[in-house]
Amino acid sequence: MDLAVTIVFGILFFALIMASIALHEVGHMVPAKLFGVRVPKYFVGFGPTLWSTKVGDTEYGLKWFPLGGFVRLLGMYPPRAPKAGERRGRVLRLADDARAWEWQEITQADVDGGRLFYQKRTWQKLIIMAGGPMMNVLLAFLLFLGVNLFYGQSQAQLDVAYVQTCVATDTTTECPADPTAAEASPAYASGIKVGDKIVAFNGREVSSWDELSELIRANGAGEARLTVERDGTRTDLTPVHTTVTAVADEWDPGTTIEAGWFGVSPRQELVKGGPVQTIEQMWTMSVQSFVALVQFPVKVFNVAWDMVTGQPRDIYGPISIVGASATAGQVVSSDLGVGPKVALFASLLGSVNLFVALFNFVPLVPLDGGHIAGAVYEWLKRRGARLFRRTDPGPVDTARMLPVAYVVGGFILICGIVLIVADIISPIKLL
């Protein structure tokens, strides 16, 4: 029964991701049509056409392989302006071939009517290309907002829920029954107790666990004087020194850094919030995702290496759409209550949407960020020409970036295959 539930809700999650991708393409298509760009095709999936219908001058349809989607905007490649003495090498021939293929469908009426993408103003191009990832940002915001409004986020409080009695070592994190048999942790030596509420660190009042954690990390091996509230009374604990040890990186939880450590764990509490809390949550996740994107090639290699060598998967490592769907299925088939299941399912879907948005903002073609960078570069060139009273250089020839697009696209394809295989052979288990 659990397996059936996992499969059913895994498929449902996959369908919702496909719906998110379809809406991503809508985010491009709607402003493109509003600004008068001709949109010949809008499809969900790739490969042979499963179904299609034409409405106006746009063909809408589904492809056999539901692993993405696309919207075709006419006029992405402007006409080439020949330059004196320019040699027509491989890159230029490739660009001209792609341009010729696209221009087979372009009519004189499209050119005269300004219905081509390259003819649009810079701000219009930016809105069109940013519309897709911003749709995913909106979906993520709505999903996280729903969770925060109706369920809440688990937030660390300043109340102590656990005191580690000894300093953890590289070989074990378990402490012996007799605290004197190992080096006492700073927390144990200070006399702090479960139920104490930490109110000050080295004389500085603290209002959140995050603030306290930053102070402890930055303290290194320095003196630590804690003040707690115990049974309604403020109590100064025995001064100790925090220990420098390996702790999880705040922005990359899958790695560790050397920082100050005290040895207590906080009480967790579900806290409901609204739009402001949701934006703060998404900002933190965005910074963490940016760090993950910078390390993405290395992390994919680590996934492949762990798979080949039989090592367990890093739960903070990248996963494919297949892996995310399987994880969502595991959540629903777990022993958690209905509320936590719905919250985790929605949060996972929101996380995927946020990552898709950030990934598409990477300034490399064929990603949306590459086209955004191209539009900004074109604007700067034209502004520079106007400033120095030179001839308008015209639109940037984005067709010349096709080799980069092929390399980036090939890299994304290889990474996708590696992650899908890893998610099948060695799936991540959160629960």
Residues linked to residue 234 through DSSP beta bridges, in sequence order? 229
Q: Which tokens belong to 314? A: 């890093």
183 in Cβ contact with 167 (< 8 Å): yes
Residues linked to residue 51 through DSSP beta bridges, in sequence order? 62
- Among left, alpha and beta (phi > 0; psi -120 to 50; other), residue 4 is alpha
43 in Cβ contact with 21 (< 8 Å): no
In three-state secondary structure terms, 234 is strand
Considering only CA atoms, which of 369, 334, 333, 327 is closest in space to residue 349? 327
DSSP string, 350-395: HHHHHHHHHHHTSSSTTSHHHHHHHHHHHHHHHHHHHHTT-----S
State how far the Cα of 243 lies from the Cα of 290, in Å rounded to an integer. 30
Torsion angle in degrees (nearest 10) through CA of 69, 71, 77, 78: -170
| Local structure of residue 276 (DSSP, 8 states) | H
DSSP string, 63-128: EEEEEEEEEE-TT-SPPP---TT----HHHHHHHHHHHHHHTS--HHHHHTT-SGGGS-HHHHHHH
Give the pairing of strands 233-236 and 204-205. unpaired
State how far the Cα of 272 lies from the Cα of 378, in Å rounded to an integer. 45
State how far the Cα of 304 lies from the Cα of 71, in Å rounded to an integer. 32
Active site residue 269: no
Which residues does 52 contact at the CB level (< 8 Å), separation at least 6?
Answer: 43, 59, 60, 61, 62
Catalytic residue list: 25
